[in-house]
Amino acid sequence: MTDALASPAGLTQAQARQRLAIDGANELPVSKPRSLLRLAREIASEPMFLLLMACGLIYLGLGSRREALMLLGFVFLVMATSFVQQRRSERSLEALRELSDPQALVERDGQVQRIAARELVVGDLVLLAEGDRVPADLQLGEVANLSVDESLLTGESAPVPKQSAPLAGGGTSSQAFAGCLVTQGTARGSVIATGARSALGRIGQSLAGIVAPPTPIQQETRQVVKRVALFGLALAALLALAYGLARGEWLQGLLAGLTLAMAILPEELPVVLSLFLSLGAWRLAREKVLARQIPAVELLGATTLLCVDKTGTLTANRMALRRLWSADHGHDTAQARPSPLPEALHGLLEYAVLACHRRAFDPMETAITEAGQRLLAGTEHLHADWTLIDDYPLSPDLLAMSRVWRSPDLAAQLIAAKGAPEAIIDLCHLGADQGASISTQVQAMAADGLRVLGVAWARFPAGDLPDQQHDFNFEFLGLLGLEDPVRPDVPQAIAECRAAGIRVVMMTGDHPATAVSVARQAGLDAEAPALTGVELATLDDAELARRLGSTHIFCRVQPEQKLRLVRAFQARGEVVAMTGDGVNDAPALKAADIGVAMGARGTEVARQAAALVLLNDDFASLVTAVRYGRRVFANLRKAIVFVVAVHVPIVGLSLMPVLLGWPLLLMPVHILCLQLIIDPACSVVFEAEGLEPEAMKAPPRRPDQRLFDRAVVARGLLQGVGLLVMLLGLHAAARAWLPDGPEREGMARALSFVALVLSNLALIRTNRTWGFAAGPAQLKPSPQAAWVAAGTLAMLVAVLWIPMVRHLFGFELPPPATWLAPAGLAVLAMLWFKAVKRLPARGH
């Protein structure tokens, strides 16, 4: 850094402390993790958990301590599981943040010192050098060949040259913004804004007014739970009243009512939903996709539109040398079968490398240097032993830079220049015809999405160097075309999205020609004209809505315009997923139905705004996430069919004996046993099922499609009613065939319970697959299904052959020959379930 930049100046420590106390720390306004108490309160306030707690307390009041403790234990277990899972997600997000506090070099008390960037205040003088992150918004006072990468704010991948502004109001060309990277040069600037008041912070603040609504599946599940719960409680109260009035046994009536309430209350629904989404988030984490908002896992399956940023999302956010051109030769480094660089172009690349800094920070210089090391390896055109004599930096008046070298075996000095083609043409004093020919080639390369630089060289006798580059006798060598390459996995990922019926559009701050070129390379639809930010600003909402149907490329768009586009697409009924990594993407990420941020290169503000974070920045992971989203919804529907089907016979066996004048068939302990073992276990079985064949070639489900639609509920009811009729028939037959005596009711109850449990296993097996291809997967049981079957059979053995447990359940062992009845009923039930499964069900 030059002496001028390091001269003592700036605030005193006392002044800095005073301003820090007034303005606050220089930190971004990112959202804070939920506290442990708040998280526990949110989980405990779920309506179904409150209802189950109330049932447990009533059981305690009735003296049924064992049943109460089992019920309350289950409730607290589910709450603890939800708590641990959500805390794990919070901690995973926190792990993405940088571990070290960024530093800043400032001038205070007449000395240059390094402090934590969070301690910066307005008025501080900050020193910048190549490789530094700008710690706050600065007004630049002294600049030496400074370029800044502002892609996080603007989406532009090319660095922006900066100049000094001795007077106020120098514009953005004389300002450096917080979070941006210094790619070249040095500077000294005064802090003009920190924290929330910086350009980066203002974008972060705009997120506060955007509230993400509950997903449709959350809203639907809450409504179903409330309605069924109210209906169940009302029906249970009527049953208790009718039992007491008819038989005069009010305590037994209350017990019958509570049993019916437990049978009807759909406590599995919040458990199943939480379990599916939590396990889906866990599975995604194994694929390097972090789910910050777990419900977004399911919503991915309904995604109809994917809005992608160009820089860092479709592209690698890393410049690469793509093309070299001279008047007589050309070479493309991205050929399918790479060929050696032609000898005639060696000089062009040689002097392009010499025109770069040896310790390059600028992405373009890095790309040129890397290409030189690769394409010129083993030749005499790499000069590690040459000595740098001086350089002529880039300036606003001449967008070119020159570096003067001395060779060990030459007396004369050699000058390498690179810069904007028009500047190099000017330096070489070329004629109009030759200049026009070069300009035509520049336009052709730019149309291919390349950033074009000109290269020239000169020889100058040893001695004093001239004051300006124009005094050298430059000869034009040729042009370099650089690009920010498309990620290798992007075209295949976009093709899969198209096959799945998901439309992909690009939103970028880059030049239209570059955007169209990248879109074509990525496989996007580039036939319709691109819509620029300037055009967008002139369109009203109606005209914009009309253009959205055919436009796939949006370029030169501002951050607030991205937000407008996302909301406009949502107004058309699209379920929008938005990907991005920069601060400028954050408002649109939060407003989208599903915001997807890049974890490795992305900013903290973008990650906080997103629902999903791609930890390895692999764009193909997004397709994997969509696949998991569709799988979650399809398997949820299978689980819902099971839950509906299994509750019908439980409700019927709780209600019908009372109406028929029989003794109670099911007691609370029976229902709780089924809920503790069969229902949670079946949720694991259905959650583990893979996606049905061809599911990723089907269009997304309708955004308004309900989880509990008519087809799903009807399928569950039909399966359940058929099973209830069979069970009632078996119970009536058992009461008629079994020998008279006090044990008969216990035997009949045991046979009916065993038949119900075995039929539940058949129900699980039948519904594991349905829709695109039913049957083959059932021939190959999953490990989860095998464990459920083994655990259920072990439970039956314990219930029937351990006297204490058998007494608790009110069972008596029936004659051995009667065990064929529940087994036969389970087989008959499976045939019925398969017959019902043939009925069509939409949206699977």
Q: Which residue has the tokens 């396990």?
A: 279
Tokens linked to 232: 């169940």
Give the DSSP H/E element, type plus range, for residue 305: strand 305-309
| 166 closest CA partner among 148, 190, 185 | 190
Please state, as a whole number, how many other Cβ atoms lie within 10 Å of the Cβ of residue 625. 24
Q: Output the CA torsion sign for 222, 225, 229, 231.
A: positive
For residues 30-43, one letter each, b for 16 or more C-beta atoms within 10 angstroms of the residue's C-beta and e for the rest, the string is beeeeeeeebbeeb
Tokens linked to 450: 């390349």
Query: Can you state the angle between helices 490-499 and 620-660, rounded to 10 degrees?
Result: 40
Q: Judge contact between 599 and 578, C-beta under 8 A.
A: no
Helix, strand, coil percentages for the chain (3-state, nearest 5)? 55, 15, 30
Q: How far apart are CA 836 and CA 633, in angstroms?
A: 21
Q: How far apart are CA 442 and CA 452, in angstroms?
A: 7
Q: How far apart are CA 450 and CA 432, in angstroms?
A: 24
Q: How far apart are CA 72 and CA 691, in angstroms?
A: 35
The amino acid present at 166, given as its one-letter code, is P
Coil, helix or strand at residue 554: strand
Q: How far apart are CA 355 and CA 666, in angstroms?
A: 87
| Helix residue ranges, H only, 430-483 | 432-447
| Residue 625 CB-half CA count within 13 A | 30
Tell me the CA distances in angstroms from 607 to 52, 91, 242, 489, 603, one per residue in order.
Answer: 37, 13, 58, 22, 6
Please state, as a whole number, how many other Cβ atoms lie within 10 Å of the Cβ of residue 797. 10
DSSP secondary structure code for residue 409 in this structure: T
Coil, helix or strand at residue 379: coil
Coil, helix or strand at residue 431: coil
Tell me the CA distances in angstroms from 705 to 300, 344, 415, one per residue in order.
Answer: 14, 64, 68
Q: Is 484 considered catalytic here?
A: no
Selecting among 124, 132, 137, 309, the annotated active-site residue is: 309
| CA 303 and chain centroid, separation | 12
Q: How far apart are CA 116 and CA 108, in angstroms?
A: 13
**Residues carrying an active site annotation:** 309
